[in-house]
Structure 1
Amino acid sequence: MIQLQEKLTTNSWIKADWENYVAAIDSPEHEKHQGYYYSGYMRIEDLPTGADHSRYHLLMANAINLFCTIGGIAINGFDNCSYRKTGIRECQPDLSYYCGERARLAPVGTSVINLDEQVTPDLVIEISNTTINDDLGAKRLLYEEMGVSEYWIVDVQNTLIYAFEMIDRGSKRIDTSLVLPELSIATITAVLNLSKEQDQSQIGKWLMSQFQG
């Protein structure tokens, strides 16, 4: 266990049983880390602290909330929330949402959402600054098996969004969201580019013109 602990902050997938993973991610030493468990491997990630990751995280949340507010779409979102199916998998996506009629199913009063008792979110989003290969790879497989409807990856360094519809433990690229009807991925991507030149209030005004039009 000591040898395993020395490797936990390498941001790599490490072969481990469920008990070791839970002991690690629930320990005070790793309270500021994100945890993932999939197919007998665990990954303990440092919480991102960079300005670009933080800005894009906020922009995504603001854009989605504004779109749903203007469009009258029910939504309940979570920031860095843990989803756990005991003994099988766990994830802590940067953003996750219950949308439309399923918004009322969003759990309350729990620090970890137990997927043995609660339903999965409709949309999960990873803000990827240094983890793009992992987000496109192992985490994508994890979310396919988890049964979410949509998975978005925000590629911070290349200012891109990869959006996937998840179907029957598989996935395919989409250009328009299905869980947030008629929301264009290109519009959200434009927000990332605008943020290089405009402040967030200016971006909000631009988004309102797009969503109301």
Structure 2
Amino acid sequence: MTLSLEKSSQPSSLRQQHDATWQDYAAVRDSSEIDWRKIAFNQGWLWVDMGTEGPNHASFSDLLTMIFGFWVFLHPKPVLQSFGRCLIEKPETQACAPDLVLYKGENIPKWQPGEPRRIVLNRHRLPDLVGEIADTTLSLDLDEQKQLYASLGIAEYWVVDVKGVRLFAFGLTAAGVYESIQVSQVLEGLEIALVEQTLERLSEETNTAAANWLMQQLQTVN
């Protein structure tokens, strides 16, 4: 098939279409000819990233996953489960593949042999936290993607600005919109500024060293 998505002002690997249907999304998702890395659909807006994951993106993404793991080490209850980059679908209306997907507590999705390896929201519950590592997609992640996750009703949304080494964290209000938060609601008591300080250390050291530094700070607090 031919990908007929419009070029945007974003890098050349990114394509957007604003009058797409769910069938258009499914055709791209299932195509053997389109090697997409990220994909999102929200009631007519279809976004596809056909680029490859760069080292900066991978380093920041893995660091956040390590942070989740260290948090669990210090706070073993309730349980956490990470499904980073897993495809999430609300059939006919929305789809996304966040870099970070975190479940907390009970009813964590499980799959039987032969089932599509997707989080399908008419069978599985919503994640508690999702996040995007914005290496080349910051404006999308703070606009269209933010609107998508808010409309799904996901409680907490993080955006990591790789170039600016910043972390934007949002909590969902009762009105269904995101507002900036300074302390995580899902990882209770975790200060966003402390996570941002950990990200800043990547300019001088490895992501494992940065994660170890955060662990030391958390142990001191505890």
Alignment TM-score, normalising by the size of structure 2: 0.87
1:143-201, Cα deviation, whole Å (9 max, x unpaired)? 00111110000000100000000123211000100011011111111111111112334
1:57-95, Cα deviation, whole Å (9 max, x unpaired)? 111110111112212241001121001111100000011
> C-alpha separation between the residues in 2 aligned to 1:83 and 1:52?
24
Alignment TM-score, normalising by the size of structure 1: 0.91
Matched, 1:142 2:145: no
User: For residues 70 and 127 of structure 1, do their structure 2 counterparts lie closer, same or farther at Cα, with a shift above 3 Å needed?
Assistant: same
Which residue is 1:174 aligned to? Answer: 181
Matching residue's letter, 2:180: R
Q: Which one of the candidate residues 77, 84, 93 is aligned to 2:89?
A: 84
Equivalent runs, 1:107-146 vs 2, <5 Å: 107-109=110-112, 110-146=116-152
> C-alpha separation between the residues in 1 aligned to 2:209 and 2:40?
36
Runs of at least 5 residues in structure 2 that lack an aligned partner in the other structure: none
Runs of at least 5 residues in structure 1 that lack an aligned partner in the other structure: none
Deviation of residue 33 (structure 1)?
2.4
> C-alpha separation between the residues in 2 aligned to 1:32 and 1:21?
12
Which residue is 1:93 aligned to? Answer: 98
| Percent identity (aligned) | 28
Matched, 1:68 2:72: yes
> C-alpha separation between the residues in 1 aligned to 2:206 and 2:198?
11
Deviation of residue 138 (structure 1)?
0.6
> C-alpha separation between the residues in 2 aligned to 1:6 and 1:137?
18
Matched, 1:200 2:181: no
